Structure 1
Amino acid sequence: MAVLGIAAGSANWFTALALGVTLLKCLLIPTYHSTDFEVHRNWLAITHNLPISQWYYEATSEWTLDYPPFFAWFEYALSHVAKYFDPEMLKVHNLNYSSSRTLLFQRFSVIFTDALFVYAVYECCKCIEGKKSGKELTEKPKFILSVLLLWNFGLLIVDHIHFQYNGFLFGLMLLSIARLFQKRHVEGAFLFAVLLHFKHIYLYVAPAYGVYLLRSYCFTAVKPDGSVRWNSFSFVRVTSLGLVVFLVTALSLGPFLALNQLPQIFSRLFPFKRGLCHAYWAPNFWALYNVLDKVLSVIGLNDKWLGSGVPACSPALSDSLGHLRLHSDGCVGPRGFLRCLILCALSSFLFGWHVHEKAILLAILPLSLLSVEKADDASIFLILTTTGHYSLFPLLFTAPELPIKILLMLLFTIYSISSLKTLFRKEKPLFNWMETFYLLGLGPLEICCEFLFPFTSWKLKYPFIPLLLTSVYCAVGITYSWLKLYVSVLTGPPVGKTKKK
């Protein structure tokens, strides 16, 4: 850990970390990319060539535009740079088009827009409360947090191999969180409102923002026990927040409201006809339910225990559990807000409608901020991030990427565990025997799925088995992390008080 101490004491360690991960992203340019590469190429073509009135109606490709308007304008802006790389990529009817110049543009556009994520991480590091005895100890949590965010394994493979723009979007979210920590509430609300109109999945955590801003900004006085003084409610402040949200929404949806296209946009943004589960089972409650339903159907007991088929499910279920704590005193203070945000994200992931496996990053990244301040949060983070990241392995199913994903995951996981154990070495162990046994089980699971199963006779008849095993095994760890986090909130010290050390 001497190297860590030297790095933490250096004035340029953050710049070195940012440049180092940028170099790694450049090295990943030639790797496999998913259908999302064609999705975004098609959106570039749509926004570049067609009038705004046709953006959400164009259906030449199956990959229709289904993100909010701000992201459509983002693609429009990128398209005016893309035309200098390869104009052929901007033809709407040029389906599944690819070239070396198209690849370079798409990859570099993700790397370039990640600059916002880097800045957001820098701002978040300012909000971390370090130790008070010595410069090295003060800087160490910030250094660890920078690595956990900038070098996050899941974000690297999802954006820079699989291909998406999550870094840019998470940059907006982390920056809004940092602004709330810095008591710049209106700016934080503005950034989150903008984020919602870039990608609507962040609606999952909107309740945490709403309750926290209402309580911590719109009420100007707080009692010693942490509760608010109801006569201190500020209509000026709530009006300012409402105006910010209204103006952002008007700028985003106003042109489409004028074109009477809001129903069409909402049908694209919320396609509930796609069904409860995504094609790749996300490691959540529904993965466990589906497997149990299948097992019981084989032995003829599913009608008795589960009823027939998947139960009726309202999309509102995704946030119902996250709301419970938000209506109590638990959402006082920026760290209480952050905890509620993570609970909303995890509840939505576990019980939401048509959840994509990549949505686990919505909980992992903000939990990184808490992991460097409390040992209990570090324990939850390590379980969640290890299982959540491993659940992303099936996204990269081609042979050349196998050693890359294993090596990157091992490096990130080993660093996360060793650095957080060192940070909290004077406190209780981060894992109990059961948690250690579960995490070590990921090794045999990977050997079975990647190295043994392909050579069995089941490969042709049951090709889905590795995916099923991965999803179900990881669902257990993610559900356990959610329960552990939820219990820690319910049993934590009262608002305004801290546990005695």
Structure 2
Amino acid sequence: MAASRVEDWKWFLVLAAGVSLLKCLLIPTYHSTDFEVHRNWLAITHSLPISQWYYEDTSEWTLDYPPLFAWFEYLLSQIGRYFDKEMLAVQNLNYGSTATIIFQRLTVIFTDILFMYAARECCRCIPEKKDGKELFKRPAFVLAVLLLWNFGLLIVDHIHFQYNGFLFGLLLLSVARLFQNRNLESALLFAILLNFKHIFLYVAPAYGIYLLRSYCFTSSKPDGSLKWNTFSFLRLASLGLIVCSVFAVSFGPFIAMGQLPQVLSRLFPFKRGLCHAYWAPNFWALYNVIDKALSVIGLKCGFLNIESIPKASMTGGLVQEFQHTVLPSVSPLTTLICTFISIMPAVCCLWLKCRGPYGFLHCLILCALGSFLFGWHVHEKAILIAILPLSLLAVKGKKEAGIFLVLSTTGHLSLFPLLFTAQELPIKILLMLLFTVYSFSALRDLFREDRLLSWLEVLYLCGLIPLGIFCELFYPLTPWKERFPFLPLLLTSVYCALGVMQSWLKLYILLLNESATVKPKKDQ
């Protein structure tokens, strides 16, 4: 048994070392404005007292992450001063010396160690079938590749530039601890994660309901319903104490300084538009396109005149704010209601038919997808909150594997517009192909199925090929790119939105079917 564990660690370390080497090779590649965002945050937290962190606005890229991430930047800045002190000056806007680039790239690579450890813990949660499968066809090995070599994380963190690997490490480690029945540790990790990046509030309902049901209730009836006399107030108090302690440490100094309203205004800037500058492939992308189509038809038929149409709605595929022309304009409250409605069935199923950690994971993914599809000002990168946890379900059953293939392929392709420079084109195409081909072949071999997808799904995914060729290779060579620069983005977002919505619906159908057929038993 000990020798087997050593061998498992060997192949995992080989995978981790291989992807780390690739990340080092990507250091000289293009980086987005997010690079300057984090450099500015390094300067703010290093050069200014804490009382000014959330007020500083010399740069347009003001600090808008929760306090724990600000302290994370502060710690990095203490190391960064040995590389180049000039990058820590608030006035040095758009500063990008070679030492600065190397330092910031290396910080992402080194903090990914947490993600690697979390991936290893998730692999340990996958039951291995003793049927003589070779290493490359074992669920744990497939999961390790799907997590460590995830295409979205590679291009978003190590080309575009962000710290998602470190943050997803906290998320996946928290999920692994739930599978290992270490509930308090899971709650602690998730509370810490929320205070690093508040976008993970999207999946907080899944954590709240699952921990309340499976941890605070010590037993259930044979039919799976709860015994209310077994509710433990002590366990509830333990959970509350852990979560409140983390928030107190994070926000306490700013509350003491009377700055909580200022911090919250930075974290939740509802003055931004419905859609991010790069349209996420969600319901509102479809809504926007329908509105544009109706406005064009209205102009052609004489129902509308050009003066009545807001300029942004006709020419601004990349704008952040505009009023809809024909359809009702959407407010933040509307998106909040739609998001709440989209996640409620999953949350209710988790409460009524818990189904243990896998039921929790199913609910978490549906919460992530519901928020992605219907949320306000959603970033396209948020699709990774659903894709990475879905990797654990993909190695569990063939239905989940089929959903993963559609969601990961469409979700990853929708990230292509983030890398618009010519020199990165071969890199993103090659990495996308490698990850996608491996996902299809490995999952097919894992379940010994020739077909994990329906013919309609295969046809839809094949449509991504001409879409990618048109948007990435053909359109930039045409004269239309000057007049309609947003068209490739619009086509990519709308087409990929269909796949994301289909995956969301299939996950719901699968959840409802499993909840209806689950056998009466005590909670796991």
- Scaled by the length of structure 1, the TM-score of the pair is 0.95
Equivalent residue for 1:321, pick from 325, 339, 342: 342
Alignment of 1:464-475 (within 5 A): 464-475=486-497
The gaps in structure 1 that reach 5 residues or longer are 1-5
Verify the 8 A CA contact 2:274 2:330 in the aligned structure 1: no
The Cα of 1:327 is off from its aligned counterpart by 1.7
Q: How does 1:273-288 map to 2 (within 5 A)?
A: 273-288=271-286
Distance 1:487 1:269 in 2: 34
Could you tell me which residue of structure 2 aligns to residue 449 of structure 1? 471
For the residue of structure 2 that corresponds to 1:327, the secondary structure is: helix
Corresponding residue for residue 20 of structure 1: 18
1:405 counterpart = 2:428 = yes
Letter aligned with residue 235 of structure 2: R
Cα distance in structure 2, aligned partners of 1:249 and 1:309: 38
Q: Does 1:415 align with 2:438?
A: yes
Match of 2:45 in 1: 47
Separation (CA, whole Å) in 2 of partners of 1:292 and 1:419: 38
Shift of 1:255: 0.4
Q: CA deviation at 1:137?
A: 7.1
1:138 deviates by 10
The match for 1:432 is 454
Residue 414 of structure 2 is matched in structure 1 by: 391
Measured after TM superposition, the shift of residue 422 of structure 1 is 0.5
Range that drifts further, 483-492 or 114-123: 483-492
**SS in structure 1 at match of 2:211:** helix
Deviation at 1:419, TM superposition (A): 0.3
Q: Are the structure 2 counterparts of residues 308 and 381 from structure 1 closer, same or farther at C-alpha, using a change threshold of 3 Å?
A: closer
C-alpha separation in 2, matches of 1:157 and 1:406: 11
TM superposition shift of 1:9: 6.8
Q: How does 1:11-90 map to 2 (within 5 A)?
A: 12-90=10-88
Please list, as runs of the form range in 1=range in 2, the aligned pairs for 1:96-245 lying within 5 A after superposition: 96-134=94-132, 136=134, 140-245=138-243
In the alignment, structure 1 residue 249 sits paired with structure 2 residue 247: yes
Contact 2:20–2:109 under 8 Å retained in 1: yes
Aligned partner letter, 2:484: Y
From 270, 295, 310, the counterpart of 2:329: 310
Give the whole-Å Cα distance in 1 for the aligned partners of 2:493 and 2:499. Answer: 10
The CA deviation at 1:494 is 3.3
User: Match of 1:393, as an amino acid?
Assistant: F
- Note if 1:343 corresponds to 2:366: yes
The 10-residue stretch of structure 1 (314-323 or 289-298) with the greater mean CA deviation from structure 2:
314-323
What is the alpha-carbon distance in structure 1 between the residues aligned to residue 260 and residue 192 of structure 2?
18
Offset from partner CA, 1:98-124 (integer Å, 9 cap, x none): 111000000000000000000000000
Using the TM superposition, give the Cα deviation of residue 132 of structure 1 relative to its aligned residue in structure 2, in angstroms: 3.0
Which moves more between the two structures, 124-133 or 110-119? 124-133
Does the 8 A contact of 1:278 with 1:356 survive in 2?
A: yes
Is residue 131–residue 138 contact of structure 1 (8 Å, CA) maintained in 2?
Answer: no
Aligned length: 491
Identity, % of aligned positions: 68
Matched, 1:482 2:501: no
Does structure 2 retain, via aligned residues, the 8 Å contact 1:276–1:353?
A: yes
Distance in 2, matches of 1:15 and 1:9, equals 10
CA contact (8 A) 1:71 1:198 kept: yes
Output one character per residue of 1:235-282: Cα deviation in whole Å (capped at 9) or x when no partner: 000000000011001000100000000000000000000021111110
Q: Which residue of 2 aligns with 1:264?
A: 262
2:512 aligned partner, one-letter code: L
Aligned alpha-carbon RMSD (Å): 2.0
Give the distance between the partners of 1:357 and 1:141, measured in 2 at CA. 29
TM-score (norm: length of structure 2): 0.91
Distance 1:428 1:338 in 2: 27
1:285–1:350 CA contact under 8 A, matched in 2: yes
Amino acid at match of 2:434: L
